[in-house]
Amino acid sequence: MVILRHAYAPGIGDPDNFSLNDCATQRNLNAQGREESRRWGDYLRKQGLGSATVYTSRWCRAVDTAEGFKLAQVQLLPELDSFFQDRANAQEQMQSLRRFIAALPAGEPVIMVSHQVNITALTGEFPGSGEALLLALPLSDPPMLLARVPAPEY
């Protein structure tokens, strides 16, 4: 399974008044981030993952990253949503994500796009913007990290 931190979006977190339903209120990808996303799509296709199922956080920068791959239809997965600004339910959210991953069909390629705080909570690793982690399935605790792949050069 590939889990990727969204492509480059300058800044940290989101404004206090952000809304999931309004991308203008969120921190978004810039030109570099959009290009990283496009290059990730090229890379993933070259790796034979062109038909992978793609799940993403509902944050616009994550959705834009996933859609920029131009692979399969992107599926929104709230378990991948950032809890950077509200960690009250982080543990419950991570348990729900682990259950979701455990229920995935065996042998089918999966790509997930999320946020640094979520990926760190799941894996103990701190990914850079646009960096991907390849995790062994079934997911162990902590997950077995097979590889780290940096964002494609901009």
Question: Does some domain include residue 110?
Answer: yes
Question: Does some domain include residue 13?
Answer: no
Question: Does some domain include residue 154?
Answer: no
Q: Which two tokens stand for residue 86?
A: 């509200």
Q: Which segments of the chain have a pLDDT < 70? A: 154
Question: Does some domain include residue 15?
Answer: no
Give the pLDDT confidence score for residue 127 in this predicted structure. Answer: 97
Give the pLDDT confidence score for residue 115 in this predicted structure. Answer: 96
Question: For 105-132, what is each residue's pLDDT tens digit?
Answer: 988 999 999 999 999 999 999 999 999 9
Q: Which two tokens stand for residue 149?
A: 């792949």
Question: Does some domain include residue 95?
Answer: yes
Question: Does some domain include residue 14?
Answer: no
Residue ranges making up the domain that contains 83: 2-8+23-149
User: Whole-prediction pTM value?
Assistant: 0.94
Question: Does some domain include residue 18?
Answer: no
- Whose CA is closest to 80, among 53, 48, 43, 116? 116
Structurally, the chain folds into a number of domains equal to 1
| CATH number of domain containing 76 | 3.40.50.1240
Question: Does some domain include residue 59?
Answer: yes
Give the pLDDT confidence score for residue 154 in this predicted structure. Answer: 64
Residue owning tokens 């920068």: 61
Cα 100–chain centre separation: 15
